[in-house]
């Protein structure tokens, strides 16, 4: 029998690889690589101008003030409306004027569009507080493939 540390290390590495793949692919509507560029990570802080509740993905329109005072309007891709609603997310959850921080990736064509891989309120609050709709007792982000 191999020593435990070795086994655990391998388990961790391999499982991590599996989780990445699984969490990634189980439900994506479209392929990330086709639309966004992994070599262009984004970090934006701005004010929600509006949110489009449309399928297959919501889009958050975000005003971002640059260092020179000019404001740029970005579009950030979010989750599907139906999924958001089932997680307890409503139109009041991300109201116009909310200050948020977006981490994600920029569009391949260089336009001011990106995806929102992680979003928090600027004061540090998390976007998702819990889950509902289907009876889920807990928020379960990044759960392994189902």
Partner 1 sequence: MQRLYVVCVGALASAILFAWLLPATTAAQNPAPAGSKETANAWTPSRTPWGDPDLQGVWRYEATMPLERPQALAGKATLTDEEVARRDALEKEQEAKRLAGVEGVDVGRQPLSQSPIRGNEYNSFWQDQGRPRKVYNRTALIVEPPDGRLPFTPDAQKAEARSAARYGVGPYESYLDPDTGERCLTDGVTALMWQGPNGGHNRIVQSPGYVTILHEEYRDRRIIPVDGRPHGSIRQWFGDAVARWDGNTLVIDTINFADKTHYEWANIWTRPSETLHLMERFTRTDADTIEYEITVEDPTTFSKPWKAVIPITKLPGKTEIYEYACHEGNYAMANLLSGARAERGGR
Distance CA 30, CA 27 (A): 9
Stretch that binds partner 1, among 65-73, 93-101, 130-138 (CB under 8 A): 130-138
Name which position in 33, 71, 122, 129 contacts partner 1 (CB under 8 A). 33
- 8 Å CB contact between 127 and 119: yes
Distance CA 94, CA 100 (A): 9
Per CB under 8 A, which of residues 72..101 are in contact with partner 1? Answer: 75, 77-87
Helix residue ranges per DSSP H, the chain: 4-25, 32-35, 81-86
Choose between 64 and 80: whose C-beta lies nearer to partner 1. 80
- 8 Å CB contact between 143 and 87: no
Choose between 63 and 117: whose C-beta lies nearer to partner 1. 117
Work out whether 118 is an interface residue with partner 1 (CB under 8 A).
yes
Choose between 96 and 136: whose C-beta lies nearer to partner 1. 136
Tell me the two tokens of residue 75: 């579009």
Work out whether 129 is an interface residue with partner 1 (CB under 8 A).
no
Nearest approach, Cβ of 98 to partner 1 (angstroms)? 16
């Amino acid at each position: 029998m191999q020593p435990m540390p070795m086994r655990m290390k391998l388990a961790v590495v391999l499982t991590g690889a599996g989780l990445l793949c699984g969490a990634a692919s189980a439900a994506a509507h479209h392929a990330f690589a086709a639309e966004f560029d992994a070599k262009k990570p984004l970090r934006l802080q701005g004010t929600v101008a509006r949110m489009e509740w449309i399928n297959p993905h919501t889009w958050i329109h975000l005003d971002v003030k640059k260092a020179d005072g000019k404001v740029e309007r970005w579009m950030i891709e979010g989750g599907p409306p139906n999924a958001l609603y089932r997680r307890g997310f409503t139109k009041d959850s991300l109201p116009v004027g909310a200050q948020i921080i977006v981490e994600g990736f920029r569009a391949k064509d260089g336009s001011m569009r990106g995806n929102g891989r992680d979003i928090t309120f600027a004061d540090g609050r998390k976007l998702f507080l819990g889950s509902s709709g289907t009876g889920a007792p807990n928020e379960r982000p990044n759960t392994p493939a189902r």
